[in-house]
Structure formats: structure tokens, C-alpha cells
Amino acid sequence: MATEYRLGDCMIKKTFYNLPEEKRKRIIGAVMKEFSSAPAEKISINKIIKAAGISRGSFYQYFDDKVDLVEVLAKAFVKKSEGSTKQALLLSNGDIFYTFENLFDTISEFADDPGQKKVLKNLLKNLKANDDIISEYLVNRFGGLTTIHDISMQFNRENLRFKCDEDIINLTQILIQVLKNAVFNVYVAGMDYQIVRKSYMRKLEIIKAGAADNQT
């Protein structure tokens, strides 16, 4: 039996991560293709298997369920955003608000690719519709508060009124929720990007006004 990364009842199996990079990318591409043509609840494992060129037995050596496929896509988009986030942290000396402004712009760039836009729309609709089940499950898979803690510890606190770890984590969680709502409005609600961005930036300004230390 394959060893698994197990933080919940089911998890993407280690056998998937041990695959050659080319084959792993081919499978991810097949999953993306299926998510671009159908909402999560209607995706076809048979079509994914065919497009990826693998057997049904191999599929279940890598994944347990469709939630695993949601995780695969979520991780793929997170990975694409990592470089931009690290650069924003470096350029801004760890400014939390600049970083979240940059994150929104980076994620919005995915909309330039029609295929990626459809994938994200279906992915986000699924997460929103199953917020109490799948979203919480995925948070656990990604490490939950440990991940948020790791992100929060990279922010510069010099210009913030709140200095302790707990307050920085709370601020990060607030900004993540504001970001999630803005991204949902762009990809799922289909609202105009410029209108959403203006509203998002205003919310960042309001939060910053309460969090920034004007004495420093």
C-alpha cells in the first residue's frame, strides 16, 4: 500500500508526487482541461484518465476522490503565485498591504488566459458552494493556521500598531478573507475587474488606517 500524506481522511498519495515531472504535469493538465469544461460536481474521471493517458487503476493509486483533484488545482495556482508574492515581500521590505495588493493583481492575471479563467471560476464556485465541507478540509490539507502563521511571520511589523504574533495572524486572516471575496467577484460573479479592484483597494486602505502606526 502506498504511503500517504494524511492530515484528513483522504489525501493525495505520495505516489503522485513521486511521478516523473512530465507525467505529473500531464495529469494536472488533464484535470485542468476537465475543470475548464465542467463544474466540479460534474467532472468526469473517465475523461481525465483518457486525456492523461493513464489507467483507472493508476488514477486511484494517486487520488482517492474528486476533492483530491480540487487540491491539485488549488496547489497549482498557489505555486504560480508564490514567486510574485516573494518578490512583493522583498521589494516592499515585508509590507503586508503592498503584498496583498500585489496578490490580487497576480491572481487577476490568470483571467488573461480563457482556459485558466474557466478553471478558476469552476474551482471557486465549488469551494464557495461547499464552504463548510471542502474549504475547511482543504485548509487542513494546506496546514491551516500553520501556513497562515508562516506567511504572517514574514511581514514587517515596524509600521504596524499591532506587534504580537497573534495580532499579525489575525490581520493576515482578515486580509485573506477580503482577497478571497474580491477574487470571487472577478471570476465567479463576473464583475468588472476595475470596479472590483477599486473596492478592494479601498478596503485595504480602511484596514490599513486602523492597523498602521502613524507614530513610526
Return the pLDDT at 129. 58
- Predicted pLDDT of residue 144: 47
Output the pLDDT for position 7.
34
Which residue positions in the chain have pLDDT lower than 50? 1-10, 132-134, 137-138, 143-146, 216
DSSP codes joined into one string, 98-143: HHHHHHHHHHHGGGGSHHHHHHHHHHHHHHHHTIIIIIHHHHHHTT
Q: What is the DSSP letter of 212?
A: B
Structural domain spans, the chain: 14-211
Return the pLDDT at 139: 52
188, 62, 120: which is closest to 48 by C-alpha?
Answer: 62
pTM of the model: 0.74
Task: Report residue 9: phi and psi, to 5°.
Answer: -75, -30
> pLDDT (tens digit, 9 = 90+) per residue, 4-46?
333 334 467 889 989 999 999 999 999 999 988 887 778 899 9
Q: Is 19 left (phi over 0), alpha (psi -120 to 50) or beta?
A: beta
Helix residue ranges, H only, the chain: 14-17, 21-37, 45-52, 56-62, 66-91, 96-108, 114-129, 136-141, 145-152, 165-187, 193-211
Tell me which fold the domain 14-211 belongs to. Tetracycline Repressor; domain 2 (1.10.357)
Q: How far apart are CA 160 and CA 211, in angstroms?
A: 6
pLDDT (0 to 100) of residue 207: 96
